[in-house]
């Protein structure tokens, strides 16, 4: 047997705020869970094509300086996607071209300090 897929789940301060951020990146909400009597969801599953991400409400303080994971986001046109994010109000770093990303990559930081590296397919 082999795994069918691998889906990261990140803990965030506000699931609702994070949903809004990731929708701007082009992900769609697949499912969410809001416990009875609570106003905000505690879990969400987001998706876009083969990209999947789960977010869950943190039970402890999320410390941006201690995030030890990078999320790689793949797209067809790095420069165009960067411009799209900037127009949506998301701060996107400069495009750099390291040896493993000759058509470029750039950095975006989500509301909880998770780093997303956007690069080409």
Tokens 């797209």 found at: 75
Q: Read off the pLDDT band of 5 (50, 70, 90).
A: confident
Cα(8)–Cα(54) distance, integer angstroms:
6
Give the predicted TM-score (pTM) of the model: 0.89
Do 48 and 75 touch, CB atoms closer than 8 A? no
Cα(40)–Cα(17) distance, integer angstroms:
10
How would you classify residue 61: left for phi > 0, otherwise alpha for psi between -120 and 50, otherwise beta? beta
Tell me the residue length of the chain. 121
Q: Read off the pLDDT band of 64 (50, 70, 90).
A: confident
Cα(2)–Cα(24) distance, integer angstroms:
33
């Amino acid at each position: 047997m082999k795994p069918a897929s691998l889906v990261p789940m990140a803990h965030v301060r506000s699931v609702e705020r994070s949903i809004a951020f990731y929708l701007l990146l082009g992900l769609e909400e697949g499912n969410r869970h809001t416990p009875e009597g609570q106003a905000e969801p505690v879990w969400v599953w987001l998706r876009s094509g083969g990209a999947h991400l789960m977010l869950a409400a943190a039970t402890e303080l999320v410390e941006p300086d201690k995030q030890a994971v990078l999320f790689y986001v793949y797209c067809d046109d790095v420069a165009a996607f960067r411009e799209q994010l900037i127009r949506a109000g998301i701060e996107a770093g400069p495009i750099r071209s390291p040896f493993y990303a000759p058509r470029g990559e750039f950095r975006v930081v989500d509301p909880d300090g998770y780093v997303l590296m956007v690069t080409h397919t």
